[in-house]
Amino acid sequence: VDACDLRAGAAMVIAGLCARGVTLVEDIQFIERGYENFVGKLRLLGADIRIIDEPDGTERGTAAAG
């Protein structure tokens, strides 16, 4: 799924954590800009979540396993 804005992107990550399997949320720059340490805070709550980096060094998205 594509994080088209801040709140919708954060909602997609939360939905991905609730879903079965792996959810890839792309274009996470909105989430990172609006929420400080979003992935780290979710990890502290026990979320299985990580940022996937592209080979060229750019961030592709966030993978959330539900």
3-52, pLDDT tens digit by residue?
889 999 999 999 999 999 989 888 888 898 999 999 999 999 999 998 88
Residue 59: what pLDDT?
64
Distance between CA atoms of residues 27 and 36, nearest Å: 16
Q: Buried b / exposed e across 28-64, counting CB within 10 Å, b at 16+? A: bebbbeebeebbeebeeeebebeeeeeeeeeebbbbb
Residue 52: what pLDDT?
83
Q: What is the pTM of this model?
A: 0.80
Residue 66: what pLDDT?
64
Residue 60: what pLDDT?
65
Instruction: Yes or no: say if 33 and 7 are a contact pair by the CB < 8 Å rule.
Output: no
